[in-house]
Amino acid sequence: MQKTIIMPLIKSISGIRGTIGERKGEDLTKEDIVLYTRSFVVWLKSENYIINNKIVVGRDARVSGKMVQDLVLDTLTKMGVNVICLDLSTTPTVEIAVPLEKADAGIIITASHNPRNWNALKLLNNKGEFINAKDGENLLKIANSNPSENNTYKLGIVEFKDNYIDVHTDMIINLPCVDVDLIKSKGFKIVVDAVNSTGGIAVPNLLKKLGVNVVKLYCDPNGEFPHNPEPLKENLTDLSKLVVNEQADLGIVVDPDVDRLAFVSENGEVFGEEYTLVACADYFLKNNPGNTVSNLSSSRALKDITELNGCNYFASAVGEVNVVEMMKEKNAVIGGEGNGGIILPELHYGRDALVGIALFLTHLAGLDISCSQLRDKYPNYYMSKDKVELSKGLDVDAIIENIKLKYSNQKLNSIDGLKIDFEDSWVQLRKSNTEPIVRVYSEAKSQNTANDLSSRFISEIKNFS
């Protein structure tokens, strides 16, 4: 069972999130949920974005989800807005439903990979994409002004639709790049760890349509996360053991809202979250050449694979919105983030674990090799993720600028903090917007080298402090 983690309420341009509770200004309270839902509608109306007077709402399975959903639905209908409620769903499913329903916006109730006592509101535009930074700033201003309830004499109505996971998975299996017959011919046996959230509904739904023998692990959508829900190696012990014990072909793990994806090979070894996008892109580019995009904190392996396929790679600032904006700018055919998030524009502009599963299985089936053999095809990189705590009042920008000058003879990228590319490694320094820290990410061809690189730049930061 997860340890309860209490963190302060976070209000930002990307929405609101925090631990469910009653401490005003510290927890995500009922009043906060109502305020941000109301502010979202006020902002939509101020921008003349309300055209069809319809918003799609869905949630993951965390224990507070039903309570938060009830508050959101009550607030929206009191403001005269009609709601299409998907109830238990996934983030990518809601993203797909918004344009299909011709809705003006979407609200996803999920704290993604955060622990069970967290929740959040993710806000979508009428394309089913996350609102951008400028829109988020304007929304935040409205929320900070504490707008009045502005209830209407004509209440909105709620229509529940529970078929959208089927709609979503049917769209995936009908993609030209997904070879259903080929996957079925392999008779794959796959263990699924859905951390007791909505992936326990959606992932088996897709796999059964692909003819897979599914072994369920933590697939009861009751919100009782059996381990830390972030799909990292240290959290996948049970999945690795069951894959080996069941003599399965591989294991699949998703986060609570099913936008992150990782695999475990048949030998119990973790395939590596960073390599989910690498493998999917490798397959897709061989059949659909084009540009790729990931963020600056993602593995260099995607760049290597993209160039091996004769295509061009581009890096964006961290954050799904930034990745999507660059994908559109560069007309990328596939992209995502190193945290296992696959974005396939042919389906929609959002991280989608379900489409990643279909691409990965088509790739694996086509090569007719094991999961571990597929992993061996890709270059090995190792990451170190660290941070430096700084005294308040320090000029972090000046510290980073000094390091930039010191390494001016190297390849530098200042899109998001400072990234320094060396011949066989890189390091990125990013200032936190919410804490007096600098995040230090590094990657190299051995774990020791990556760790040493991080330590070196932590010392550099302290020397300039």
pLDDT class of 389 with cuts at 50, 70, 90: confident
CATH 3.40.120.10 in the chain is located at 10-162, 168-376
Tell whether pTM > 0.75.
yes
The yes-or-no verdict on residue 172 having pLDDT over 80 is: yes
Average pLDDT over residues 409-426: 94
- Give the integer Cα–Cα distance in Å for 199 and 218: 10
**pLDDT for position 14:** 66
Helix (H, G, I), strand (E, B) or coil at 56: strand
3-34 confidence digits (pLDDT tens) = 444 556 777 666 788 899 888 888 899 999 99
Phi/psi region, residue 364 (left: phi>0; alpha: psi -120 to 50; beta: rest), is alpha
Give percent above pLDDT 70 in the chain.
Answer: 96
* 8 A C-beta contact, residue 121 and residue 108: yes
Q: Closest Cα to residue 304, out of 273, 329, 279?
A: 279
In 184-275, where do the E strands start and end? Answer: 189-193, 213-217, 250-254, 261-265
* 8 A C-beta contact, residue 345 and residue 412: no
Note the CATH number of domain 168-376.
3.40.120.10
**From the DSSP assignment, how many helices (H) and strands (E) are in the chain?**
15, 20
Catalytic residues: 112
Query: For residues 434 and 317, which has the higher predicted lDDT (pLDDT)?
Result: 317
Average pLDDT over residues 40-54: 96
- Give the integer Cα–Cα distance in Å for 29 and 9: 9
The yes-or-no verdict on residue 253 having pLDDT over 60 is: yes
**pLDDT for position 395:** 83
**pLDDT for position 72:** 98
CATH 3.30.310.50 in the chain is located at 382-464
CATH number 3.40.120.10 is the correct assignment for the domain at 10-162: yes
79-125 confidence digits (pLDDT tens) = 999 999 999 999 999 999 999 999 999 999 999 988 889 999 999 99
pLDDT class of 46 with cuts at 50, 70, 90: very high
- Give the integer Cα–Cα distance in Å for 357 and 276: 9
**pLDDT for position 1:** 47
CATH number 3.40.50.2300 is the correct assignment for the domain at 382-464: no
Burial class (CB in 10 A: 0-12, 13-18, 19+), 434: exposed
